[in-house]
Amino acid sequence: MSISSTLEKSTGKKHLTDNNPETCWTSRQGPGQHIHLTFEKPAIPKRITIIFQGGFVGTKCRLEVSESSDRPKWQTWTYIHPEDANRRQIFDLIAHRDGLPVEGIQSMKLVFEDSSDFYGRITIYDLKIEGLLL
């Protein structure tokens, strides 16, 4: 996993998936903050679960996918539109099969195009991607 930026060491990327509700990742300010995930094997993502901090929500998120993880060739797959809320939000991706390679993907990028924060910062307490490994 890689990220576009981190506000400070105590809010680093390891906190995105540590299952600790007391820790979080916070980006620096500015547009185009993103999270880049790679999978060991080709995968079909089916659901994304995110807990944001209210006021620091990526309110428009573009999901990009690539069949390769070495040198990704990104293609926009779909968009999700999280609410500006401090609660678990679940986005089913099953309905968005169009544009997803049949063989699965090895990389996925969540690009936050808009933020509820005036400065464009994003804060996430938990991120989970569910699906099938092929």
User: Which domains are delineated in the chain?
Assistant: 2-133 (2.60.120.260)
The pLDDT of residue 96: 64
pLDDT under 50: residue ranges of the chain: none
The pLDDT of residue 69: 83
22, 132, 24: which is closest to 13 by C-alpha? 24
pTM of the model: 0.92
124 burial (CB, 10 Å; 0-12 / 13-18 / 19+) is buried
- For residue 113, the one-letter residue type is E
The pLDDT of residue 101: 80
